[in-house]
Every structure is written in C-alpha cells, then in structure tokens.
Amino acid sequence: MTAKAVIYGLRGPALTAEETAFFRSVRPWGFILFARNIESPEQVRALTDSLRALTGRDTLPILIDQEGGRVARLRPPQWRLPPPAASFAALFAQARDLGLEAAYLNSRLIAHDLLSLGINVDCLPVLDVPQPGSHDIIGDRAYGTEPKDIVALGRVAAEGLLEGGVLPILKHIPGHGRARADSHESLPTVDASLEELTRIDFTPFRSLNHFPLAMTAHIVYAAIDPDRPATLSGHVVRGIIRGTIGFQGALMTDDLSMKALSGTMGERTRASYAAGCDLVLHCNGDLAEMEAIATEARTLSGPALARTNAALSQIKPLGAPFDAAQGVARLTSLLNQSMVA
C-alpha cells in the first residue's frame, strides 16, 4: 500500500498505543527522531525496529538531525559528538585535501553510528552561505562563507553518508544564509536581488543538485515571491528550486510546526503540496497537529512517488568493513592539525 507524503516525529522513546493506531492508519512515508526519543543505543534500535514492524517496510526512511556541534541528537557519553561544519572549513582553508578527507570521514563515521541504530537518513549537509549580519542560527553549521568551499565540503560530506548506507538531505534550499531571524521563531525576509541570490546562495544547491533529497527554507525571498515563504511558494519551488537550481530529487518541507509559518496545520500542508513540495515534515510529536496534517496528507503518486522511490534506491549495501575506531583516530589527528596551525 502506497505511503502518505508526510514525515512525522514521535512523542517519546517508545511508540504509544495512540501513535501505533494513528501511524498504522495514516501510513507516513517516514519518521524523524529527536533527543526526546533517545535514551540508549538499545532503546533507539528497538524504536526503529518497532517502526519498521509497524509499517512493514524494511526501507522505511527514519531521519535524524545529526550534523555535529550544536545540532546533534546523539551525544556523549553513548555517542561521539561530531564537530561543527566550521571545523572542516578551518582545516580546508589550511590544507584543502586534508579538509576534504576530514569532512568525508566525519560523515562516514556519522553513517556508521546511525545505521547501527536503524537510522538511514541524516539531515546533512547544510549548504547555506552565511552573510555578514545574518542570524547565527546557521553560523558554524556552515562549511565556510564561500560558495565554492561549501560545494567542495558539502559534496564529500554527502558522499560519506551515502557510502555508509545513509541518505543525505541538502538544506536549506534555496538558501538560509542571509536570514536575519531564526525561522523556528519568526518568518525571515531576504531582500537580496535575484542576481545576487543566484550568484551566491543558490550556487551550492545548483552544484549538488544530483543528490536525492532536499529540505526547504521557511524564508521569504522578496525578489521572487514577497508574499509567501519558499516552502509555500510555487514561484520558489517550481521556478527556482526545480528551475534555476535544477534540483530534481525528492523535496521535503522544513518542520511545518515552526513559527515562521502561519495558518492551521491543514492549511500549511495544503499550501506546501500546492507549491510543489513532495513531502511535508512535522517534528514535535503533537498528535492533534499530526491528525490535522493527516486530513490533508496526499498519497504519494506520480512524480513525487517516482522521486521518493529514486531517493530510496540510492541506499546502497555496505562495501568493505569499516573500522570506526581507526576512523575516529584519523579524524582526531586531522582536526588536531587544524588546531595547532
């Protein structure tokens, strides 16, 4: 039976009876995990196993935000805390090859951790290009401030995940780097010209447009659509993301419960699909909100179904055994070189 075009969060570390009944009825395409869902490796693996048993889908997409630094749901003492993207930018500025090796190896290690837990999608890499005066919601999550550097590091970060059997998600398309507000709390407006956006902000996404998944930005780009944030704008989704940037993979919204968006959850869901998004994402685990979204959730079909199937087909079987301890030692050595320099 075909899944609905929605990704949901969960309330806690195990499925409740209410959630089990709801998810069995709705059949979401995937799920996303947060810190509230995580207690131990054994518990997370039991949770992901229960989600796959519930849906009957071995390739069920289970997402997490495991970037490193400030944005990491898996943390010590049970898990390694990956460094923020800016650490790789610093090493890349000193020694390009070493920076690329470190960014790739870090993602390969993240994939190793995630796959052992049954998690097969990571909301990484961040391809936003920070600009002077922008809000620090991106900050050190970015792979530098130059589009060409972000392209180089973002590419190997995505490749490291894929090599480890985990799908990457490009975010936040078409670019969050100029925002002067945190879209979790309010709706940012970017006033840059289309020429400037095309030359700078869109470049990383255009260069890496062959990757399988991307997540939208809840930002108004006044030069493109002054009335709607990108997630809800056909001008941005069809004209810019699909057109100018040329991204043809599966496109998901950022979290519909963020305060940047207005209207009911049902209205946000309808507007996201109407704009051209393939999947809607809802993260906070609030069952009433999830039920409101479910009333408007579409069954995946047509191009959206083809794109999501194509994305899942890129989950590759693991190749040669990966020595995680050796990988951590090498990564530590590389990053220490950056600190000494």
Residues forming the active site: 184, 254
Dihedral, 138, 139, 142, 146 alpha carbons, nearest 10: 120
Alpha-carbon span 187 to 182, nearest angstrom: 8
User: Are 47 and 16 spatial neighbours (Cβ–Cβ below 8 Å)?
Assistant: no
One-letter amino acid identity for 119? I
Alpha-carbon span 144 to 93, nearest angstrom: 9
Give the CA count within 13 Å in the CB-facing half-sphere of 282: 26
CB crowding 246-256: b at 16 or more within 10 Å, else e: ebbbbbbbbbb
User: Are 280 and 297 spatial neighbours (Cβ–Cβ below 8 Å)?
Assistant: yes
Strands 250-255 and 279-282: parallel
